[in-house]
Structure 1
Amino acid sequence: MTGRAAFDRRRFLTMAGMAGVTAGAATMFGRSVAVAAGTPAVADTRPPVTGLPAGIPSLHGYDSAAIKTWSPATDPFAKYFRSRVPLAKRIKTFAPTQANPSLSASPRLLSLSNDYVEPNNVRVMHPYGYIFEAYALRFWQYLDYFGAWHGLPVFGQINAPDPAYGVINPPNPAWTDAAHRNGVLSLGCWFWPRPPDQFAALVEQRPDGSFPVADKLIEMAEYFGFDGYFINQEGDIEPEQALLLQEMLGYLTRTAPKGFYVQWYDSLTLAGQVDYENEFNATNSPWITDDGKRYCDSIFLNYDWTPELIQNSHDYAISLGLDPQRVVYPGTELSLNQFAPPEDPRWIFPEGERALTSWALFGTDFPWSLAPSDKSSVEGQRQVYVYERQLWSGPRQDPAHAARLVPPTGDGTNPAGWDGVAYHIVEKSTIGCYPFLTRFNAGTGERFFVKGRLASEQPWFNIAIQDLLPTWQWWLRKADGSTYDGLKVDYDYNLAYDGGTSLVLTGSLPADEAVELRLFKTELPVHDDVCLDLTYTLGRACAASNLRVGLTFEDEPSKVTWLEVGKAGSPVWNRRSWSLKPYAGRTVAALSLGFRSDTVVEEYTVHIGALGLRRKGGQEAPPKPRGFTVDGTSLDAGVATAYLSWELAHEGVWYYDLFRLSPGNGAGMSNGGAGVPAPEAANGKSTDKEWIGRIFADAYVVPGLQRRGSEGETCLELFAVSPTGVASRPARTSFSWTG
């Protein structure tokens, strides 16, 4: 093994074992906590009801011993790391509304990447936190599988000077939530070698032929709510151990529930030696199928592939009776090469021909590291998301015109030579049933809004509550189909209707010429009782909205039917609703926004706070949450961490919102209300309650609660919120500052 293949191996090993927290300080949930060298973040015991450590606990890795003995009853904090969002069903493909109608939906895409990239995240994995400095992926619509590439120390080792890492790291549950909402499978990662763990312990086989580790891997995936594993075996082992590993993987795929997914990395041979093939051939195919038996679902091919090796891989899969677009995933190393990988994706996707295989990406989080500057502010992160749009939508940041602007440059910092993922992979959607509602909440924020009111000034990150974001980012065009660059589209962190961001368009409107922003791919059959709702606000220079909502129907995909918004009635948030009864019997295939003015508008600004379709009668509030309780608290110098739980409602609830009441309000407030802060202060901020968290789960940890004056007890409220955004009556609990 020579050249780049050898470097790739070292890179995988190095990234997985990086250490990022040193003696002196650690970051727990974005807050600095003093630690001593070699001191575990928490003890290796199940947490008691009181005396729990400060800060949100970090997910940890699992070695062979921990895997074999794993139980949620003994795994510290396991209940806080569960994804409870079910995997959404994707709608059928519909070529006429695609940004590129010629693309086939057959090739699939996997991303193996870091999550969040929050400070010090090489050793920690938090599902949510109270800082803004965290990356949240906005392009789930092109993915079919997401694997969290994030080695983690075993429990109790997070602050050790040379920690032992687990063979298994589950995916971040918040990212699993976001993936599932978009119809994407979420994978945990297997990485070996992990000294001092011995490989023989991983492939132990019982007399009945079963494998303890495989059984537990299935059990862990079911409990934590993810969908399978990426197997990265990059250490030499004995030949008999390699055969046992192959047999164990076959047992894993046969025993696991339907939909469980396992992908193998092109590394180990059946002789137990690491050997990167860079193609699908007789050496690595036994990890997929051998002697008529199936072992893994697919293979991530190592880099250094060529057009010939891709063609060989395709042909070899066919010779085995396998579909190369289901089995073979050539890998593109973005983390190292960024916008200039040596292997051209066009070798996988020949122009005008059927794709030869599917595709895998490693390091789609690279826009975070490529962008310069401090990323603790919106302005500091702005270039991150420009690079992200160029990665997925192409250098023009327009999926309808994804394609390189120049031949590949070899300069990884220059997106001009990169086609964009949208050039090869069709966009997908889960918007196929009612209700559909988005507030354009991107999953991070400098503050938090609820129903148009400022509910918290605390920065935060939580991709678990990211809304379904626009399918196309950004497809802006004139009526004749040509591009229009007079308007700029982005997410605005300064003003939101619900969450941390709204959609904002700024720029100019031409005179008497329609402009369309194509937003969402849908498959929504229209009934007599369907309504469309829009929440928006206009800039001061806009006397009239010049705003329209567009419906594209399946039976007439070349035409957009426009609903006029009319003049705004409020300087803040306006709501407009339409009955779609006139279109009953048709199916909405796409949603757009439109802009048209009789005269030139030089300074046009519009914020879109919410967009949704619902059926009448779906505005009922969920029942009041049951079982809301404080399981434990950690109190330290006027700062509290509260461990909360309640009973999860599996139907009729979109998410749960948590609030902290101001001192003196806990006993006197009514148990009614709609879950919004009230009344408003002069600056628009709630005076009686503060938002402290949102999740679809039955447990949450709130750190950093500052004692207010001589406050003796803090009252907390929990609201269940329906899929149409209607909140229940609040459940209440409290904790004491005096122990």
Structure 2
Amino acid sequence: MNPTRRTVLIAAATAALMPPLSAEAAPKAAAATQPYASYWYPDSLPSGSPGTGITWRSLKSWRPADDPDLAFNASTVPLAARFTPAPANSTARAGQARIQSLVSFGPTSSNPSQGSATADYYALTHWAYIDELVFWGGSSGEGLILAPNAPIVDAAHRHGVPVLGNIFLPPVAYGGQLQWTRDLVQKDAAGRYPLAERLVAVAEAYGFDGWFVNAETSGGNSALGADMLGFLRELKTLAKGKGQRVTWYDSMTVNGSVSWQGALNSQNEAFFQAADDMFVDFRWTAAKLASSGQRAGQLGRNRYELWAGVDVESNGWNSSVNWDAIVPRDKAHVASVGFYRPEWTRNHLPADGRSPGDFHAADDRFWTGRSLDPSRPDATDSWRAPAVSVADRSTVSSVPFASVFNTGHGLRWYEDGEVTSDAPWNHMGLQDRLPSRRWVVHTDGRRPAVTFDFADAWRGGSSVLVDGPVDRAVLDLYATQVPITADTVIELTHRTDAGAVDVELAVAAAEPTTPGATPSYTYFPVTSGSGWQTATVRLTGLTGTVRAIGVRLTGTGQVKWRLGGIAVRNTAETPAAPTALRITGASGGDLRFAWNPAPGDVRHHTLHRLLPDGTRRFLGGTCQRAFFVGGLRPEQGEQEARFEVRAVGELYTTSDPATVTHRW
């Protein structure tokens, strides 16, 4: 990679879960420190001392049992299976180009393990187009090996997207030292590569899906190149045994030098063969990509295992890209797409005024295109958005399924339409499975605007807002593969804020026969009234499989209508309560909590403080079984604080609380 593009950032998660403790065995609370995502050097550390807030660690000496932050950092959501419904338009294709995203979510050091008290965050939601996420970053002064933090992995896994940690051996101009490359590929007395084993162990303990290897430190020779190749082969072999994967970056060549090829050729072919995929550097041309695809085929490999780098860090959708060289409209795709730093959609906005709504408007423009409707791409748009070329995917294939359209950040926290915390927040692990086609509206009349909105919500931090003229419009929500039984019902929680609108649930039991067509919906009336309303609809007359779910709105003018939640179920299920809630660390108003999850399906846990007046204040939620809260203070006259943790099921039903008190 050209070093002028490098902005060294992000962080990573340590993690493998703490062993469960009984209430009787709970140790006395130690000091409470903020847990952060982890980062390492391969073995040797820099000379001197780390900067403020930085901890230098050696991966070679990492042991799960020695990490006090394990329970805060390990993902708990398994990688979901995906399917591909009929494409939303006639140009999007399945089984050809895939999309990889290299994203920096935060700084390398001091990146909180479980979200933070700001809504200003790159809350990625367009997972339906992504096939691999790389937790990008690293810094010569902080650490080079990043394990993705748990909230990112949990959100990605819900949408069926594997997440890779990053190994960044920096260019010399950015502080890279060749010794760190030698450390990574060192061999033991038996000729094995101990850090390959350690990397696979980290990914297994933390619950993510493999590694992105980026060796850009120049000065190597053919012996180092051979060692890197041996290391990569062993890493892939060990990773495959654990269901993990390895992607190689087109940087180091087989002779040990760093020379970005912009192609698959004799200089990097051996590394490609030793990995699952390769990110082709930005120096590609149309001819280079064409020859690279042919060469991959000659090797018995799939040309779509090559990610053609598209640098959007500086200009986003204004970037100049030869799209026909990657994803031509009139013939088979040539290669896959590797987006470098698509978080431009957040970063280009004014830092002192960017709201969640501003971010999602920009992010929708990036992934969907200027039309903001993937069923109707704008042919005059020079930015060929992913929705134009790549078919979206879904993971909604079983019950129970529910969504409250939580994007993973918000200005407040809502429960049953009431604000239980007025503090801004972000935590990607709380993100729902979200509609993949944003936003497809079928109408012969006027088209209203559809957005995620943060001014009000049923639960979480956001709702879907339909705002504008409505004659008769059908909004696609989810592509599904849910079997219908006699007990299957769909619940819809909604509210009309302005205007008059009739609401119907739209359910299709068959795929559209042509791409971009409206599904063959059956419409069921939905009860309305003042305030938030939850209607339960039985799918009378439908059999087989639910293939699509939407809503039909019929009005006579300007409308503001909110969708707060949807659930598909056969039975109502409530999770059991967690046990052994305890405070494991306390430093003034900073507390560490831990608990034992109850058996059964639990989506996440919520932590509340019970105030002296009897109200409950939301402090946070997490998919893990430990949580940190900072900056608490006693209420007027309060001698001890009371806390509750509840399990939240897939249907957003909540358990009875586990409780604990903390004496000030």
Matched residue SS, 1:399: coil
TM-score (normalised: structure 2): 0.89
Distance 1:50 1:270, change over 3 A: same
Letter matched to residue 97 of structure 2: P
Query: Counterpart of 1:32?
Result: none
Pairwise CA distance, 1:268: 0.4
Distance 1:717 1:50, change over 3 A: same
Query: Counterpart of 1:88?
Result: 80
CA distance in 2 between partners of 1:505 and 1:246 (Å): 54
Distance 1:238 1:247, change over 3 A: same
Letter matched to residue 287 of structure 2: E
Letter matched to residue 563 of structure 1: Y
Q: Which among 402, 413, 425 is matched to residue 460 of structure 1?
A: 425
Q: Which among 312, 322, 325 is matched to residue 344 of structure 1?
A: 322
Aligned 1:21-170 pairs, distance under 5 A:
49-53=29-33, 56-65=34-43, 66-91=58-83, 93-95=84-86, 98-100=88-90, 103-115=93-105, 121=107, 123-126=109-112, 127-151=114-138, 164-170=141-147
Query: Counterpart of 1:657?
Result: 606
Q: CA RMSD in A?
A: 2.2
Pairwise CA distance, 1:714: 0.8
CA distance in 2 between partners of 1:562 and 1:132 (Å): 38
CA distance in 2 between partners of 1:336 and 1:387 (Å): 14
Query: Counterpart of 1:634?
Result: 587
CA distance in 2 between partners of 1:259 and 1:100 (Å): 34
Could you tell me whether the CA contact under 8 Å between 2:581 and 2:596 is conserved in 1? yes
The answer to whether structure 1 residue 393 and structure 2 residue 368 are counterparts is: yes
Matched residue SS, 1:215: helix
Letter matched to residue 87 of structure 1: L
Could you tell me whether the CA contact under 8 Å between 1:306 and 1:343 is conserved in 2? no
Pairwise CA distance, 1:556: 6.2
Query: Counterpart of 1:576?
Result: 535
Distance 1:593 1:18, change over 3 A: closer
Q: Which among 577, 590, 593 is matched to residue 644 of structure 1?
A: 593
Letter matched to residue 491 of structure 1: F
Q: Render the CA deviation track for 1:463-511: whole Å, top value 9, x for unaligned.
A: 11011111111111215xxxx653111122121111001111111223x
Could you tell me whether the CA contact under 8 Å between 2:640 and 2:663 is conserved in 1? yes
Matched residue SS, 1:136: coil
The answer to whether structure 1 residue 259 and structure 2 residue 252 are counterparts is: no
Could you tell me whether the CA contact under 8 Å between 1:132 and 1:459 is conserved in 2? yes
Distance 1:690 1:628, change over 3 A: same
Aligned 1:315-334 pairs, distance under 5 A:
315-325=294-304, 327-334=305-312
Query: Counterpart of 1:296?
Result: 275
Could you tell me whether the CA contact under 8 Å between 1:648 and 1:697 is conserved in 2? no
Aligned 1:265-414 pairs, distance under 5 A:
265-289=249-273, 295-325=274-304, 327-372=305-350, 374-375=352-353, 378=355, 381-405=356-380
CA distance in 2 between partners of 1:556 and 1:369 (Å): 38
CA distance in 2 between partners of 1:77 and 1:87 (Å): 23
CA distance in 2 between partners of 1:16 and 1:229 (Å): 18
Residues 558-567 or 547-556, more deviating: 558-567
Question: Where does structure 1 differ by over 4 angstroms across 4 or more consecutive aligned residues?
Answer: 194-197, 555-559
Count of residue pairs brought into register by the alignment? 623
The answer to whether structure 1 residue 565 and structure 2 residue 546 are counterparts is: no
Structure 1 unaligned residues grouped into runs of 5+? 1-7, 20-46, 153-162, 290-294, 406-415, 666-687
Distance 1:555 1:340, change over 3 A: closer
Query: Counterpart of 2:46?
Result: none
The answer to whether structure 1 residue 714 and structure 2 residue 641 are counterparts is: yes
The answer to whether structure 1 residue 10 and structure 2 residue 41 are counterparts is: no
The answer to whether structure 1 residue 222 and structure 2 residue 171 are counterparts is: no
TM-score (normalised: structure 1): 0.81
Pairwise CA distance, 1:726: 1.4
Aligned 1:171-250 pairs, distance under 5 A:
171-193=148-170, 195=176, 198-236=180-218, 237-250=220-233
Letter matched to residue 60 of structure 1: S
Pairwise CA distance, 1:188: 0.5
CA distance in 1 between partners of 2:129 and 2:290 (Å): 24
Letter matched to residue 112 of structure 1: L
Q: Render the CA deviation track for 1:613-670: whole Å, top value 9, x for unaligned.
A: 111x3x23211111211101110xxxx11111112346321111111010375xxxxx
Distance 1:706 1:150, change over 3 A: farther
The answer to whether structure 1 residue 621 and structure 2 residue 596 are counterparts is: no
Q: Render the CA deviation track for 1:661-708: whole Å, top value 9, x for unaligned.
A: 10375xxxxxxxxxxxxxxxxxxxxxx111111111111111122221
CA distance in 2 between partners of 1:499 and 1:212 (Å): 44
Could you tell me whether the CA contact under 8 Å between 1:403 and 1:419 is conserved in 2? no
Query: Counterpart of 2:495?
Result: 537
Q: Render the CA deviation track for 1:110-152: whole Å, top value 9, x for unaligned.
A: 100111x5xxx46432231112222211211100110111226
Matched residue SS, 1:628: strand
Q: Which among 551, 572, 589 is matched to residue 507 of structure 2?
A: 551
CA distance in 2 between partners of 1:611 and 1:235 (Å): 50
Distance 1:248 1:48, change over 3 A: farther
Q: Give the structure, 1 or 2, with the largest relative contact order (CA under 8 Å, sep 6 or more).
A: 2
CA distance in 1 between partners of 2:379 and 2:246 (Å): 33
Could you tell me whether the CA contact under 8 Å between 1:109 and 1:145 is conserved in 2? yes
Q: Render the CA deviation track for 1:17-65: whole Å, top value 9, x for unaligned.
A: 699xxxxxxxxxxxxxxxxxxxxxxxxxxx9942333xx3322310123
Matched residue SS, 1:219: helix
Letter matched to residue 192 of structure 1: L
The answer to whether structure 1 residue 434 and structure 2 residue 399 are counterparts is: yes
Matched residue SS, 2:406: coil
Structure 2 unaligned residues grouped into runs of 5+? 12-26, 44-57
Could you tell me whether the CA contact under 8 Å between 2:85 and 2:394 is conserved in 1? no
Q: Render the CA deviation track for 1:523-581: whole Å, top value 9, x for unaligned.
A: 11211111011001112432xx3111211222665553343435523x21101111124
Query: Counterpart of 1:723?
Result: 650
Query: Counterpart of 1:592?
Result: 550
CA distance in 2 between partners of 1:728 and 1:642 (Å): 23
CA distance in 2 between partners of 1:266 and 1:566 (Å): 54
Could you tell me whether the CA contact under 8 Å between 1:555 and 1:587 is conserved in 2? no
Query: Counterpart of 1:509?
Result: 470
Letter matched to residue 203 of structure 2: A
Letter matched to residue 208 of structure 2: F
Query: Counterpart of 2:389?
Result: 424
Distance 1:403 1:279, change over 3 A: farther
Could you tell me whether the CA contact under 8 Å between 1:394 and 1:403 is conserved in 2? yes
Q: Render the CA deviation track for 1:62-104: whole Å, top value 9, x for unaligned.
A: 012311111122234232111111111112x232x53347522
CA distance in 2 between partners of 1:693 and 1:701 (Å): 9
Could you tell me whether the CA contact under 8 Å between 1:403 and 1:418 is conserved in 2? no
Q: How many percent identity over aligned positions? A: 26
Pairwise CA distance, 1:451: 2.2
